Amino acid sequence: MSKLLDRMRNAIRLKGYSLRTEEAYLNWVRRYIFYHNPGLSRGEVNRHPAEMGAEEIRAFLAHLARDHNVSPSTQNQALSAILFLYREVLHIEIEPLLISMAKRPQRLPTVLTPSEVQQLLQHITGKYKLIAQLLYGSGLRLMECLRLRIKDIDLTYRAITVRDGKGHKDRIVPLPQTAIPALKRQIEYARLLHQQDLEEGYGEVYLPHALAQKYPNAAREFIWQYLFPSTKRSNDPRTGKERRHHIDPSGVQRAVRTAARKAGLTKRVTPHTLRHSFATHLLQNGYDIRTVQELLGHKDLRTTMVYTHVLQRSGLAVRSPLDTLNQQTDETNEPMN
C-alpha cells in the first residue's frame, strides 16, 4: 500500500494540489483500502484497489454514512479522493452513472446585519481584526485571505488579487479603503520579520507550481512573502526546509467566535459568515447578481443565487399577517371625531 500511496502523492503534487488536499485524499484512500482489507495491518491483503470498482466504492461510502454518520460534503470528498486514485494513478475509469455524489441539504447561510458586523469587529483586535475586515470587505474565503502575498495587495488601485482560488481561478476583489492604514502596518511588520529571517540565514517562502525552479531567487524576495506570516518558522512537510508559513486558520476562527460571544450575538458566527454577509449586503445595496458572482469567484450562478433566497426569505421581505391584523384592529378601535 505504501508504494501505491507514494504514487498517488506524486500524482497529487503533479496536479499542484494543496497540502491540505493531499493529506485528505491520502487519508480517504487509506481508509478505503483498509475497509476492504481488514487484515492489512497484519500483512493480509485480500483485494488490490485495481481489482475493485463501483460496487466497492458504493459500499465504502455507505459505510461512512451508516456507521460514521458523515455529512454529504464529507462523503463527496471521500468519493473525489477515490476517483482520483482510479483515474490518475491506476488509470481506470469508473462509470460516472454508477456512482453519484451525495446530495447536500439546501441550507441557507447565516448572515449578519451591518450593525452586527460592526459589533463583531469592535471586539477583534490586531491582525485578526484586519483579516475579519478583509473577509467582510472583500468577500474572501479564509484560506484565500491567509494565502495572500505582499504582491497581491495594490494600495494605489485599492484592489486585491486572489491567486489560485477555489477551482484554481484568479480574480480581483475590492480593497476596502477603511483597511488601508492597518494593511500598511501589516506590510511593514511582514517586512521587518522577513529582514530578520534573511539576517539569520532563512527568508525563503513556499512557492506554488514549481515557481521556485523557474525563478530560483523569488522565494527570498519580499513581494512573495505572506501578508500574514506566522510568528514562528516551521519545517515544510514536503521538503523539510525551515520556512515561515502563513498564520494558522484556527487562530482566526477562535478570535471570531470569541468576538461574537463578547458582542452578545445570538447567531452562530464563523469567519465564513463574514463572506456570506459581504454577498448579501452587496445585493441589498443594489449590485447585480453577476457582479457578486464574479467577486465571490463562484463558477455556477446557482451558488450565488442562495443569497437572493436569504433576502427573499428574511422577515423584511414578507409582511406577517399578524401585523396586518393588529393594524386593522387598531384602525377599527380609533375613536371617532
Going from the C-alpha of 184 to that of each of 139, 177, 299, the distances in angstroms are 20, 12, 32
Is the predicted pLDDT of residue 329 greater than 70, yes or no?
A: no
Measured in whole angstroms, the distance separating CA 135 from the mean position of its chain's CA atoms is 11
Quote the CATH superfamily of domain 106-319.
Answer: Intergrase catalytic core (1.10.443.10)
Q: What is the pLDDT of residue 15?
A: 86
Residue ranges, comma separated, of all CATH 1.10.150.130 domains in the chain are 2-98
Is the predicted pLDDT of residue 223 greater than 80, yes or no?
A: yes
Residue that has been written with the C-alpha cell 477583534 in this structure: 124
Nearest Cα to 231, choosing from 268, 264, 189?
A: 189
Alpha carbons 98 and 206: distance in angstroms, whole number: 40
Stated pTM of the model? 0.80
> Which of 137-141, 169-173, 316-320 tops mean pLDDT?
137-141
Given the DSSP bridges, would you call strands 153-154 and 159-162 parallel, antiparallel or unpaired?
Answer: antiparallel
Q: How confident is the model at residue 334 (pLDDT cuts 50, 70, 90)?
A: low
According to CATH, the topology of domain 2-98 is DNA polymerase; domain 1 (1.10.150)
Question: Which residues are the active-site residues?
Answer: 141, 166, 272, 275, 298, 307
Residue ranges, comma separated, of all CATH 1.10.443.10 domains in the chain are 106-319
Alpha carbons 226 and 206: distance in angstroms, whole number: 9
